[in-house]
Structure 1
Amino acid sequence: MRSNPALVLLALGHACVDLYQGAVAALIPFFVAERHYSLAVASGLVLAASLLSSITQPLFGALTDRWPMPWLLPASTLVGGAGIALSGLSGSYPLTLAFVALSGIGVAAYHPESARAARIASRGSHTAMSWFSLGGNIGFALAPIAVALAIGHGSLRATPVLVLPALAGAALCVPVLRMIGDHRATTAAAPARGGDDVASFVKLSLAVIARSTVFIGLSTFIAVHAQQRVPGVPTAGTLALFLLFLGGAVGSVLGGRLAQRYDRVRVSRWSYLSSVVAVAGVIHVPGPAMLLFVALTSAGLYVPFSLQVTLGQDYLPSRAGTASGVTLGLTVSVGGLISPLLGRLADTTSLPTALTPLILMPLVSWLVFRVLPEPAIPARSES
């Protein structure tokens, strides 16, 4: 990393952008408390960000496969931050939905181009790509802290303060654009390797959808769930959300290291199988012990994260932007579609009952990875 300044800047910029993905979930308890939203209504905000992101991210990926769009990096960062900054200013639910959706579009536009840039900067190294993913995980982890600092015991009208990370992230993008060059340099640095394996890519996408379903479902309700499971600790919700996001930082780096010794498919398979037990612990273990399972769940779900991005690019070597848009966007965001259903079920039964089906999702991903091949590609540098 010290010898790769472009990758360092990309990782930091990734942190600034993904903070806004985490901010949506971090804002849910504040919307519930201040505006008296039900869990189903509040989770609709997660749906708003996820739905537009799921639709637009593959489109941005396809566009960047055809035309160079380096300007998307700073522009999308600013859009993502502006949406969250404006979300607390109006008491109108439709306007709040619109601002959160705007943020989702910004996040969607950022990821395909940034994943391509990171692939170039990493020179195909799984370990280096895991550091790029680590930046996003750190952004997720900092989201509840940033939201708590911006709002604290005050009002949602303080959300404009949350535009500051976007300004920093946009500034970080400028030197990166000079370092990695234009689209022609991108094509030369990352030539297609063989034909596309569409069937394997579709299977991979199903595994990512199952993973995102459990992760987004937990991130939407974990703060409220932790407050119920650890009564008497006012910060339990914020701590649980922080652990859920921070554990991903450990998982991403661990995944890159393990991929040096074992193939990506095998590492992902082991990780998803272990996550089944961890998710069950989050939902059903009472008291502070559930926080340990939150950290284990996060690490288990994030070990395959950067590996799935490079697998998708290797299954579709001629369409790296599209592959990144699907694995980082469509399949991840589709998981958010289930959040309102979980919220409605929680309103009519209980939150643990509503979350219990999420235990099966890592098992689905494990079953898919049992039939996925490891792409046959030339040896890479793992520096």
Structure 2
Amino acid sequence: MASQATVNAGTARPSAGIPTSKPTVYKVLLAISLVHLFNDSIQSVIPAIYPILKDSMTLSYAQIGWISFYFNLTASIMQPVIGMYTDRKPKPYMLPLGMASTFLGMLLLAFAPSYAFVLLAVSLVGLGSAAFHPQGSKVAHLAAGSRKGLAQSIFQVGGNAGQSLAPLLTKWIFIPLGQFGSIWFTLVAGAAMLVQTFIARWYKGVIEAGAVTAKKTVQRAMDPAKRNKIAGAIVVLVFLVFIRSWYAAAMTSYYAFYLRDVVGTTIDQAQIYIFLFLAAGALGTFFGGPLADRFGQRTVIFVSMCGAAPLAALIPYVNLGWATVLLVLTGFIVFSSFSVTVVYAQTLIPGKVGMVSGLITGFAFGMGGIGALVLGNLIDAHGISLIMKLSSLLPILGILTLFLPSDRKLREWSSEV
């Protein structure tokens, strides 16, 4: 068994971020991207149903923020934990089991008789998301071969495409059907479990072939100065994702109310503008990975934040026609680094794919729930117009990208592992 563990540790080394000549398994990448679309389209039900719940349960903006907080907090706390656990003990069938929690959450949401049951329902959906994302990102990493940026883009574009459906769900399902419309998404969860079973079998086969194992690597003494630089880079990267999540929370949770109360559209009409923002974001997610493969990861992260900053800042001050153009451009640019930040973090901390993916796509992104809660309370206190104008300035903080190590420095650190 000891010799077998040695062999497995050697074969697992490419998953630690070192270039590999293994082929890219596109059928698995497309399958995991499809499940990501299913998973995040179900997640998108949560913000999509806000206008319905606000009216039917007479909720304040702060209470809407608490719904987002419960959902995101469940997902954000559990994702790094599940990621660390599955790095040590790979669990392929956690994928369909996590979706079972999502299924129960959607079933409960359809029949939730009170605000407390809504909070419980969204927490179950968040738990299912926490089980999916670290494992899904790891599957994408294993199926990537040498095309890590492209693989993460394929994986993440499914999720962002699913999120972009939220405003259309509001327009076509929840406005005509109300809260009970969420029952239809139990069918989506069922379909996702079927696809995940196929993926889990492939993942199990990879484990049995020795490409993945709960390995015990020899810990090399790392230069304390280098360790501090890596820790500092992770802090900056998490903060950047945190800021992007706060901005996304402002747009997805409250922009529809801004358009209704300030601009004068209906909630129904407002969904089209949010959809354009999110759909452009899904497109930006797809192109971000290949662009990072060509121009560098830090460059794409910097451009995605600072390039979007002036456009985002203008949105509250222009007419609806120009706002539409700016929404599309801002969505495309700001989400172009979505998959890139994951690959960058995996390069910073090689060999911890699940934990790192959970940290970036889970903890940092999930902290957008705190953003939604804070913004909801601020809107109740100071009005939606002022808070949306202040939120539009958040991408300016992308200037902190300059404190991240360059791609060349990352390669130097990787070669020293």
- Percent sequence identity is 25
Contact (CA 8 Å) 2:92, 2:201: kept in 1 or not? no
Alignment TM-score, normalising by the size of structure 2: 0.84
Which structure 2 residues correspond to residues 1-383 of structure 1 after superposition, within 5 A? Answer: 4-125=26-147, 126-180=149-203, 181-183=205-207, 185-187=210-212, 197-232=230-265, 235-374=268-407, 375-376=410-411
Shift of 1:121: 0.9
Contact 1:58 1:322 in 2 (8 A): yes
Counterpart secondary structure, 1:153 = helix
Distance 1:2 1:325 in 2: 23
Q: Taking structure 1 as reference, are residues 319 and 159 closer, same or farther at Cα in structure 2, changes over 3 Å only? A: same
Structure 1 residues 9, 247: closer, same or farther in 2, change over 3 A?
Answer: same
Which consecutive unaligned segments of at least 5 residues does structure 1 have? none
- The change in CA–CA distance for 1:166 and 1:269 in structure 2 (over 3 A counts) is same
Tell me how far apart the structure 1 counterparts of residues 266 and 113 of structure 2 sit (CA, whole Å): 29
SS class of match (2:111): coil
Kindly report structure 1 stretches of 4+ aligned residues shifted beyond 6 Å: none
Instruction: State the structure with more CA Rg.
Output: 2
- The normalised TM-score by structure 1 is 0.91
Is this contact kept in 2: 1:151–1:158, CA < 8 A? yes
CA shift at 1:139, angstroms?
0.7
Look up the equivalent residue of 1:53 and give its one-letter code.
A
Match of 2:13 in 1: none
Q: 1:22 to 1:352 in 2, by over 3 A?
A: same
* Cα distance, 1:228 vs structure 2: 3.4
Give the residue type in structure 2 aligned to 1:376: R
Please, which runs of 5 or more residues in structure 2 have no aligned partner? 1-22
- CA distance in structure 2 between the aligned counterparts of 1:206 and 1:346, rounded to whole angstroms: 23
Structure 2 CA distance for aligned equivalents of residues 213 and 26 of structure 1: 17
Post-superposition offset of 1:135: 0.5
Distance 1:244 1:262 in 2: 25
Distance 1:254 1:33 in 2: 38
Q: Is the 8 A contact 1:67 1:183 kept in 2?
A: no
Task: Quote the offset at 1:304 in angstroms.
Answer: 0.6
Native 8 Å contact 1:230 1:288 kept in 2: no
Q: 1:150 to 1:79 in 2, by over 3 A?
A: farther
- Per-residue CA deviations over 1:228-270 (Å, capped at 9, x if unaligned) read 3542455322112212321121111221221132001011101
Give the conservation status (yes or no) of the 8 Å contact 1:150–1:161. Answer: no
CA distance in 2, matches of 1:164, 1:278: 39
Distance 1:3 1:119 in 2: 10
Contact 1:229 1:287 in 2 (8 A): no
Contact 1:83 1:102 in 2 (8 A): yes
**Cα deviation digits, residues 100-137 of structure 1 (max 9, x gap):** 11111111111001100001111241122211111001
| Pairwise CA RMSD | 2.7
Count of residues in Structure 1 that have an aligned counterpart in Structure 2: 379
Residues 316 and 87 of structure 1: CA distance in aligned 2, closer, same or farther (over 3 Å)? same
- Give the CA deviation at 1:350: 2.0
Q: What's the CA shift string for 1:127-173, capped at 9, x where partnerless?
A: 22211111001111123323443333233123211212111111111
Q: Distance in 1 between matches of 2:353 and 2:43?
A: 23
